[in-house]
Amino acid sequence: AQSVAQPEDQVNVAEGNPLTVKCTYSVSGNPYLFWYVQYPNRGLQFLLKYITGDNLVKGSYGFEAEFNKSQTSFHLKKPSALVSDSALYFCAVRPTGNQAGTALIFGKGTTLSVSS
């Protein structure tokens, strides 16, 4: 079965330190990869996506993500964390090809907590 794994329920970092939120997937072919962020009592906001090309993609709020095809990973990163980055982060994958119209497959989410 196709799936997305976010192995850490929570990631804690100090403000100013780099952060990484991990994501691996098990989807056939070359899926589209996404990261979304959810702030308390808000809907999900799009951060960035990987479609093709450069393995390092840059997105909103200084976030970037590194695609690794051999490891089927798409880790979210930021060089210097801010307290305001504290939120719930979701990795999501959409299969391509004949299933191009299908739903996003979401990971379970990782809570990022940035301390001052």
Partner 1 sequence: EAQVTQNPRYLITVTGKKLTVTCSQNMNHEYMSWYRQDPGLGLRQIYYSMNVEVTDKGDVPEGYKVSRKEKRNFPLILESPSPNQTSLYFCATPGQGAREQYFGPGTRLTVT
Scanning 10-18, 44-52, 62-70, 71-79 for contacts with partner 1 by CB under 8 A, the matching segment is: 44-52
- Nearest to partner 1 of 15, 111 (CB atom): 111
- Strand segments, DSSP code E, in 7-86 are 10-14, 19-21, 24-26, 32-38, 44-50, 56-58, 64-68, 73-78
- Residue 76: both structure tokens together: 């979210």
- Distance CA(90)–CA(20), nearest Å, equals 13
Type of residue numbered 24: T
Give DSSP secondary structure letters for 41-52: TS-EEEEEEE-S
Scanning 20-28, 62-70, 72-80, 105-113 for contacts with partner 1 by CB under 8 A, the matching segment is: 105-113
Kindly state whether residue 22 participates in binding partner 1, applying the rule CB under 8 A. Answer: no
Scanning 11-19, 20-28, 40-48, 69-77 for contacts with partner 1 by CB under 8 A, the matching segment is: 40-48
Q: Which residues bind partner 1 (CB under 8 A)?
A: 4, 32, 34, 36, 41-46, 49, 51, 90, 92, 94, 96, 100-101, 103-104, 106-109
